[in-house]
Amino acid sequence: MIKTRRIYDKPDADDGFRILVDRIWPRGLKKNDVKIDLWQKDIAPSNAIRKWFNHDQRKWNEFKKRYYEELKDRKEIVKLFLEKAEQGTITLLYSSKEEKYNNAIALKEYLQSNKL
């Protein structure tokens, strides 16, 4: 199972393996104070795509298209995420205030459509 959660929210017991999927460390959080199992910044969209998108929902479909093209070059990381999801729950953590249009949501959709 793949879930998403904002990193600023309290962890749940059913989060399973918690992975931060942002390229930049979340503001105001200390690494020692956050419960994550892995920070996989290489799975995040490139800076160019991230800045272009800027959480503008009108660009959502094009953002996903561009991001998914990048993910094709990150097969090993995608495979790792899919394997972890087969073993149990993984939670993709993000820092954005935008809960519907962010890279973790797009990544979850991508992973669910590309099962092993």
Q: What is the pLDDT of residue 115?
A: 64
Asked if 17 and 90 touch (Cβ cutoff 8 Å), the reply is yes
Domain that residue 12 falls in: 2-113
pTM for this model (two decimals): 0.93
77 CB contacts (<8 Å, ≥6 apart)? Answer: 40, 42, 43
- Comparing C-alpha atoms, which of 112, 109, 93 is closest to residue 8? 93
Q: What is the pLDDT of residue 32?
A: 87
Asked if 5 and 93 touch (Cβ cutoff 8 Å), the reply is yes
In the chain, the number of structural domains is: 1
Local confidence pLDDT in tens for the 116 residues of the chain: 999 999 999 999 999 999 999 999 999 999 888 999 999 999 999 999 999 999 899 999 999 999 999 999 999 999 999 999 999 999 999 999 999 999 999 999 999 998 64
